[in-house]
A and B are shown apart, each in its own frame.
Chain A
Amino acid sequence: QVQLQESGPGLVKPSQTLSLTCTVSGGSISSGSYYWSWIRQPAGKGLEWIGRIYTSGSTNYNPSLKSRVTISVDTSKNQFSLKLSSVTAADTAVYYCARGPYSKGAFDIWGQGTMVTVSS
């Protein structure tokens, strides 16, 4: 059974770059027809899609974050990663990684989420 696990620093200073990695276990990130996404949720608020990547390396980003976001994939490590630059307190949130089947336009498997706080 495929599982996703986020990892990375829980505290990032303002203006720095937030970096997170999602490790896929129980299956190959390259098998099947899936895209791999990052989604975040500030405390007590709703969900915001950040972006997605295919194992080919093709990406789509949320227009509101596009100038600051880079998502990459390392198929040899069965991982994909998020970099968000020039962070502010508004980027404080729980960050989730998720899998999306091509056929559904949805996110069917999620990581447990990791809390990232932006503070000096």
Chain B
Amino acid sequence: DIQMTQSPSSLSASVGDRVTITCRASQSISSYLNWYQQKPGKAPKLLIYAASSLQSGVPSRFSGSGSGTDFTLTISSLQPEDFATYYCQQSYPPGHFTFGPGTKVDIK
């Protein structure tokens, strides 16, 4: 089974900061990597699919990159509504889905 790791597990940042979260797969998953944002008591929200494609309606300050085993989610300028937990999720091979452990972004 493909294992996913994320770093850091948590971070503190200020409004306006550039934030980068890393996700690593235990073996190559090509670009089968998605990113979600989850706020307390709410369902996750899809931000990025296929490593770098922005989901409709998601602000352009969110971007994704990477392929193979190493991926990043970047928030170019952190906004108050972005304080949340972020999860990566892989979908390789088709029909297999695994989530990373999450990265909590809170206010410095």
Contact = CB atoms under 8 A, between A and B. Distances in A.
Interface string A81-110: 000000000000000101000001111101
A47 B36 CA distance: 11
A106 B46 contact: yes
A104 to B, nearest CB: 4
Contacts of A106: 34, 46, 49-50, 55, 89, 91
Nearest to B98: A49
Interface of A: 37, 46-49, 52, 60, 62-63, 96, 98, 104-108, 110-113
B1 A105 contact: no
Interface residues of B, number: 26
Contacts of B1: 63
B71 interface: no
Q: Is the interface of A mostly helix, strand, loop or mixed?
A: loop
B62 interface: no
A104 B92 CA distance: 11
Interface stretch (B12-20, B73-81, B99-107): B99-107
- Which 4 interchain pairs have the tightest Cβ spacing? A105-B91, A110-B43, A60-B95, A49-B97
A113 B49 contact: no
B49 A46 contact: no
A106 B37 CA distance: 13
